[in-house]
Homo-oligomer: A and B are copies of this chain.
Amino acid sequence: MKPSCNGIDTATLQATVDAVRSRPSLARFRFRVRNRWVSGSRSQGWITEFFGAGQEHLHRRGDMVLHADQPAVLVGGDEAPAPIEHLLNALAACLTSSLVQAAAREGISLTAVESAVECDVDLLASMGLPRGATPKIRVMMRVKGEAAAAELEALVDGSRNASPVYDIITNGVPVTIAINTG
């Protein structure tokens, strides 16, 4: 096996998979984000640390910040991507990273992965009106690499099962909200 494939250290990847296979609890992660309202529809998110592979970790770049806003037509300032746009990018990034890691595990060199994601969503409920149609998401993925088309298609298919964001968005997950007004 090559020491690196698709920019991923394949020896470390294989060691990680082996470690998790022998001790599955290492695959339990807890990701955390803090978010603060700025003004109007704007908010700022901070990402600092997470738990995984049996211990706490700090992200090596320190606090990473994400900005969100609503577009002007939704009475926002349009200073940053809308929350749904963040969600769509999370999906594309997760599918892409899952695909690239799966390819690296199989020793398939990729040369390009591009995706276009779109979401049809009815915002009636956002305006306090009765709920509209269920949202729908479409992903168009273009994948090039040193493998037959059928092999690349199988990789994309596999990346659905490997992507936690795809899992969350397609199957839905329980979300509890605790409120503190103190």
**A: which residues have CB within 8 A of B?**
6-9, 12-13, 16-17, 20-21, 24, 27-37, 39-43, 45, 47, 50, 52-53, 57, 59-61, 64, 66, 68-76, 78-98, 100-102, 105, 110, 112-129, 131-132, 134-144, 149, 152-153, 156, 158, 160-182
Contact = CB atoms under 8 A, between A and B. Distances in A.
A82 to B, nearest CB: 7
Number of copies: 2
The A interface is mostly helix, strand or loop, or mixed, namely mixed
A64 B110 CA distance: 26
B81 A35 contact: no
B101 A126 contact: yes
A46 to B, nearest CB: 9
